[in-house]
Amino acid sequence: MSTSRQTRQVYIETYGCQMNVADSEVVGGILKTSGYSLTEDLAGADVVLVNTCAIRENAEQRIYGRIGLFGTYKRRNPGMLIGVLGCMAERLRLSLLEDDLVDLVVGPDEYRKLPGLMERALEGEQGIAVRLSRVENYDDITPLRTDGVCAWLSVMRGCDKFCTFCVVPFTRGRERSRSVESIVREVVDLSSQGLKEVTLLGQNVNSFRDGERDFADLMQEVAAVDRTMRIRFTTSHPQDMSGRLIDVIAGEENICNYVHLPVQSGSDRILGLMNRTYTVDHYRRLIGRIRETIPGVAVSTDIISGFPTETEDDHRMTVDLLTEIRFDGAFTFKYSARERTKAWEMEDNIPEEEKGKRVWEITELQHAIALEQNRNLIGTAVRVLVEGPSRKSPYEYTGRTETSRTVVFPHADEQPGEYAEIRIDRANSATLFGRRTGDVSGAAPQSLRESAA
């Protein structure tokens, strides 16, 4: 094990949503300033931190499995520290320290305490910090980013919606937003470093507020920083999807025409039990307005199957809604009862097998829709932001369209961060395949748009 603090190596592994990815970069920033360095080598690490997710039971089970594996490294290197960060740390608190493998437990609002806690833990003292804050937003911390093309940028934290199934208000606390100025400053910095895509993040990003300025105002200011930079955002609640925000997405050429808008269920009765605060009809009209206002927009959603009391009829309504709306993407989850939530009090009465069947049916339907939509793009040319080599082959590169479709093409001279036009000749439900039609570009504003040539 290394002895001086300057050479202490920290390995960070991240689970869960993009907020956690952004938070791990904040942790990286804090640790680097305190003289630690990050490593990708688990076996050689002095400190192993796992940033965790508590949204569903199976997310937690997976993390227990990882902690067990870290234990095998720790037995070989007894000085190694293991720290649990994030939502599971917040939820399970002291009980995590009962496991001898775990030295540190740090919740999402306490990352500034990490260097101090790590120092003491290296001297043998277990540490815990899990207080939630009404103000912490890490406004002044420069995240340690590794990707040179796309950046996550967290603009607000926490959630005040209290959907009855969701543990997030308990693990991440109350809503709070950063200042527009600090966000714009960070985007200016990213632009000067050559990054080409920024995704504004929040559990409930469109309820962002800084004094008189709302999320639509923020998006406008961020989009104006660098017109060659794409702007995305996630995740939104239908209640805060204002007409003005839709107009801003349509009006600012470099804001991507892509909206992720979780509906959760196609049954008004279930939406009521979930405390989602909208009806299916309201949601339907919202999607209609988004599609009318933003030409070529892609919309995706989240669905929960098997919420307490969900009948076959309720499930049918969800299937019908997906058939009607034809989302570009849908993430479907089996309902998982979470302690402290309102739904925890309801009987989790849908058998796991039935939940699985419902998820399967929705997933199959969505695959068929996505396949059809992707096949419709065969023969057209799409603009992609080049990201780098594909996972399967160094001779192929991948990029994403404005609508977040992944495109794979033979690599010639494109560099990550350039825009290229690809003619699509093949598609499956997840990926488009094609070839370059012309030169790559640093992207004039209008070239960000997908062309349907």
Judged by the rule CB under 6 A, the positions of this chain that interact with ligand 5AD are 55-56, 165-166, 262, 264, 302, 304, 333, 335-336, 338
Which partner in ligand 5AD, ligand SF4, none is near 55 (CB below 5 to 8 A by kind)? ligand 5AD
- 302 is in the binding site of which of ligand SF4, ligand 5AD, none (Cβ under 5 to 8 A by kind)? ligand 5AD
- What token pair was written down for 433? 């395949």
Instruction: Output the six-digit token pair for 239.
Output: 């209640």
Please, what is the minimum distance in Å from the beta carbon of residue 195 to ligand SF4?
Answer: 27
In the bound state, the residue with its beta carbon closest to ligand 5AD is 302
Interface residue with ligand SF4, options 63, 82, 153, 163 (CB under 6 A):
163
Partner from ligand 5AD, ligand SF4, none binding residue 152, C-beta < 5-8 Å depending on class: none
Residue of 169, 306, 308, 417 that binds ligand SF4 (CB under 6 A): 169
- Residue 203 binding partner per list ligand 5AD, ligand SF4, none, with a CB distance cut-off of 5 to 8 Å that depends on partner kind: ligand SF4
Binding window for ligand SF4 (CB under 6 A); candidates: 126-134, 166-174, 252-260, 420-428: 166-174
Q: Which is nearer to ligand SF4, 166 or 408 (CB)?
A: 166
338 binds, among ligand 5AD, ligand SF4, none (CB under 5 to 8 A by kind): ligand 5AD
Residue closer to ligand 5AD (CB basis): 258 or 409: 258
DSSP per-residue letters across 220-238: HHHHHH-TTSEEEEE---G
Asked if 385 touches ligand SF4 (CB under 6 A), the answer is no
87 binds ligand SF4 (CB under 6 A): no
Nearest approach, Cβ of residue 201 and ligand 5AD (Å)? 13
Hey, which residues between 210 and 249 contact ligand SF4 (CB under 6 A)?
237
Q: What is the smallest separation between the CB atom of 141 and ligand 5AD, expressed in angstroms?
A: 25
Q: Judge contact between 118 and 81, C-beta under 8 A.
A: yes
Of 182, 186, 265, 179, the C-alpha closest to 231 is 186
304 binds, among ligand 5AD, ligand SF4, none (CB under 5 to 8 A by kind): ligand 5AD
> CB of residue 21 vs ligand 5AD: minimum separation in angstroms?
14
Q: Does 12 bind ligand SF4 (CB under 6 A)?
A: no
Residue nearest to ligand SF4 (CB): 166
3-state secondary structure of 180: helix
Site string for ligand SF4, 118-157 (x = CB under 6 A): ----------------------------------------
Per CB under 6 A, the segment of 43-51, 130-138, 164-172, 427-435 that binds ligand SF4 is 164-172
Residue placing its CB nearer to ligand 5AD in the complex, 278 or 419: 278
Asked if 161 interacts with ligand SF4 (CB under 6 A), we say yes
Which one, 304 or 322, has the nearer CB to ligand 5AD? 304
Q: How far is the CB of 18 from ligand SF4 (least distance, A)?
A: 13
Q: How many residues bind ligand SF4 (CB under 6 A)?
A: 10
Tell me how far apart the alpha carbons of residues 150 and 344 are, in angstroms, rounded to a whole number. Answer: 38
159 binds, among ligand SF4, ligand 5AD, none (CB under 5 to 8 A by kind): ligand SF4
Query: What is the Cα–Cα distance from 10 to 22, expressed in whole angstroms?
Result: 17
**Closest to ligand SF4 by CB, 196 or 237:** 237
- SS3 letters across the chain: CCCCHHHCEEEEEECCCHHHHHHHHHHHHHHHHCCCEECCCCCCCCEEEEEECCCCHHHHHHHHHHHHHHHHHHHHCCCCEEEEEEHHHHHHCHHHHCCCCCCEEECCCCHHHHHHHHHHHHCCCCEEECCCCCCCCCCCCCCCCCCCCEEEEECEECCCCCCCCCCHHHHCCCCEECCHHHHHHHHHHHHHCCCCEEEEECCCHHHCEECCEEHHHHHHHHHHHCCCCEEEEECCCHHHCCHHHHHHHHHCCCECCEEECCCECCCHHHHHHCCCCCCHHHHHHHHHHHHHHCCCCEEEEEEEECCCCCCHHHHHHHHHHHHHHCCCEEEEEECCCCCCCHHHHCCCCCCHHHHHHHHHHHHHHHHHHHHHHHHCCCCCEEEEEEEEECCCCCCEEEEECCCCCEEEEECCCCCCCCEEEEEEEEECCCEEEEEECCCCECCCHHHHCCCCC
Which residues form the interface with ligand SF4 (CB under 6 A)? 159, 161-163, 166, 168-169, 203-204, 237
